[in-house]
Structure 1
């Protein structure tokens, strides 16, 4: 990742030239990082970028329109990867662009390891580049395009005149006059047809002797294809050299964690304490489970109520979820004691109470354990035949999943007609997208629309995130009802 020659060259540069290392928001990421970074920076900026890329892939899986995807991505840009234009004189644009540069290269290391990961990374990064391109300052975008060789030539006046009728056929206009006006203003670029196969397929260019005549309104296609090809080649080179880094466990653990980010996105961190603003009691859990819990926690709760017992990983997954939701240690002990009603007090105290206190950081090494995210539930501790933990969208057989969804959520508006869309995303491996769609359907009566997710288009990446948002929606409805009354 770090090139010694480039680092020495960078260190020799003047302070003035360093300020112009990243002259544009747009970047083809040709130069690998030549600067030293801390492990904290290494992980933070990559995770921030991964949050955006994972949501872009979720948008593809949810069949969002380009405008919807752009809206969601632009909003996340502000939160995780701010990139201002040069006109923002009060902002440190070089630091912003350095973070963007670093995050990209760390993820390149994480996603170069298999053909499938490389394909998904290129697709998401290309969409991210397009969002930046379309939102960029027009003048800076033009300067960026001039700074690179895209192997295009502007069509000369003689050629424009020679092929004028064919070129006008590429324009839009309902009258001859409108086409003439468009043709006079439009620029045309000549490139090899292999640079714009998508435009050739859609018949948006004029083909003559292996050359494609591209109107400027389709110029972005040339740029995106060049970005894709550049990144694909770079990933291949990185994959061939990655083995030199595999001996450094400090990096490989982080990279392996990130390469799983497309499975269930990157979850927000949920610390201990009442996530909803209110503590919950043992007596409230059953009612909350039926109205607000995601399918994984509903399944654990129902298994617990039915069997009066949960195995170790089930207790761990459900117990930490309830802890972070707002169940205090005293209420947790009361809840589990009531749930394990077929045990004697002595057996419960000896075999289970210690583990409950341990998960709250009151025994053992006294660590404050967080609740498990969707990614952890999907990838760790695969459930066996008699286990209840895990993710139903991944670990249930398709028929069992459909039956469970209808039995669990039919009272909240889910119908058999909704299952086709949910099961399609499950089949494609987008389990958190399926869970997000179920959230939208079951909260449609409260005003949640398709595509909104758990708010502002965000997908579910954590069971507590699902439950907290559901509770917040209900509170808002109750507040509105009280105002009306």
Structure 2
């Protein structure tokens, strides 16, 4: 779909009209979009990736909501909050906002993700399901007049039911059950409008018996029109994904786009790292975590992956290279300074001499802090990187326990690690069901909720606002925040009691 230049990509279908490129007219008159036409303008590689990541954050959280059996109201609330954070899409009434810029970003992100998720039937199915829900949330939160304007702008091929036909089937139409109306008078019936479509276009309404069927036609009340719109959106998107899949091999020659698409297509497996890391890690180093404090922090605040690495290190007095890298970068972002890191690793490797430690390990520790070699400031590994890269061997401790442990070992590890924090055997079936379905970061998030229930975390809340765990440091940081808040509240309550006394 995209033909990349040095710093930009553009669609090869045809040249964009000058008025679209210059934005002298409004190319996006509506907040809702069926995405019939691909982007007809130049797109930088930065925009190509950032727009897709922003949208993928929303879709990944929607899929997490499916796995966690959230109600539609809960899902809508979480999705709306995520959209406001990552992919704002204001109504036309928000005249002071950059509406065209917002809708362009939404448009580009959708089409990039089509490229990423058209590669297999399973990815296409998951993409369509998440996109359908995003469209539904936007439909339900859209302004009524703008929604009607969107409907008028498209030809949905609905046949209006005239008064004569409506009168002929009055008894049947008035008998149709609906969760919209509790009382239905004949006067109201005369005011209402109906459309008829082939029943195959509204299978959900047929299943719920909320339409009248006659001769292969479904007579749909105007207030049920959303069902027809959603079905049309799904059909169009499924067809478009099939077409994109057939055209995708032509992109194989572009070595810049394929790695981006490969990375995006993994987003449903581990979620997308939130912007938390970029805003938090830069100030983490040197924040005061001492070497002697790490063991206590591991028992209280570490996710399963880092807790496993810590326990393996304490038991074996050694970690192999990938384990040291994964754990060392985590500690760095946690707030362990370079001096404290060297002290921690030297004390942990107690079975070797100072000379061996200095020759074989000290340089690598300094290198991870950007003090040797290329002097790069290496970030800690996200859940996606831990899940997808450098799979652990039989004698290695890195990786994600939810994916790389056997079921028996995972259950034993969870009980051993988190029983003191309220995790019990009765919680295991829910966690293992999620693990078997391949939603590893959702399982980790649920463990976080269970083990932090004493701090007021409720089921479905995640690390805040319903957001799932997508980074080990995100887990640890939120856990420490909750403990700090609980301690401050306890101190405040004690002070209040002393004053009252």
| TM-score normalised by length of structure 2 | 0.93
1:154 to partner: Cα distance = 2.2
Separation (CA, whole Å) in 1 of partners of 2:490 and 2:407: 39
1:7 aligns with 2:15: yes
1:268 to partner: Cα distance = 2.5
Q: Does the residue aligned with 1:83 lie in a helix, a strand or coil?
A: coil
Q: Does the residue aligned with 1:214 lie in a helix, a strand or coil?
A: strand
Query: Hey, what does 1:84 align to over in structure 2?
Result: 90
Separation (CA, whole Å) in 2 of partners of 1:83 and 1:176: 34
Q: 1:284 aligns with which of 286, 290, 293?
A: 293
State whether residues 274 and 327 of structure 1, in contact with CA within 8 Å, keep that contact through their aligned partners in structure 2.
no
**Which residues in structure 2 correspond to 1:227-266 (within 5 Å)?**
227-266=233-272
Q: 2:320 aligns with which of 296, 304, 311?
A: 311
1:366 to partner: Cα distance = 0.6
1:66 aligns with 2:72: yes
**Which residues in structure 2 correspond to 1:7-406 (within 5 Å)?**
7-8=15-16, 10-11=17-18, 18-172=24-178, 178-180=184-186, 183-268=189-274, 270=277, 272-273=281-282, 275=284, 278-406=287-415
Q: 1:472 aligns with which of 460, 465, 481?
A: 481
1:200 to partner: Cα distance = 1.4
RMSD of aligned alpha carbons: 1.8
Give aligned pairs, total.
Answer: 483
State whether residues 171 and 182 of structure 1, in contact with CA within 8 Å, keep that contact through their aligned partners in structure 2.
no
CA 1:171/1:217 → structure 2, altered by over 3 Å: closer, same or farther? farther
1:171 to partner: Cα distance = 3.8
1:278 to partner: Cα distance = 3.6
Separation (CA, whole Å) in 1 of partners of 2:257 and 2:368: 29
1:201 to partner: Cα distance = 2.0
1:4 to partner: Cα distance = 4.7
Separation (CA, whole Å) in 2 of partners of 1:68 and 1:153: 35
| TM-score normalised by length of structure 1 | 0.96
Separation (CA, whole Å) in 2 of partners of 1:354 and 1:13: 55
Question: Which structure 1 residue ranges, 5 or more long, are not aligned?
Answer: none
1:33 to partner: Cα distance = 1.0
1:173 to partner: Cα distance = 8.4
State whether residues 276 and 468 of structure 1, in contact with CA within 8 Å, keep that contact through their aligned partners in structure 2.
no
Separation (CA, whole Å) in 2 of partners of 1:40 and 1:231: 25
Separation (CA, whole Å) in 2 of partners of 1:228 and 1:408: 44
CA 1:199/1:177 → structure 2, altered by over 3 Å: closer, same or farther? closer
Question: Which structure 2 residue ranges, 5 or more long, are not aligned?
Answer: 2-9, 495-501
1:407 to partner: Cα distance = 0.9
Separation (CA, whole Å) in 2 of partners of 1:474 and 1:243: 51
Query: Hey, what does 1:481 align to over in structure 2?
Result: 490
State whether residues 278 and 326 of structure 1, in contact with CA within 8 Å, keep that contact through their aligned partners in structure 2.
yes
Separation (CA, whole Å) in 1 of partners of 2:388 and 2:185: 57
1:276 to partner: Cα distance = 9.7
State whether residues 273 and 325 of structure 1, in contact with CA within 8 Å, keep that contact through their aligned partners in structure 2.
no
CA 1:349/1:230 → structure 2, altered by over 3 Å: closer, same or farther? same
Separation (CA, whole Å) in 2 of partners of 1:5 and 1:380: 36
Bigger mean CA offset, 267-276 vs 147-156: 267-276
1:94 to partner: Cα distance = 0.8
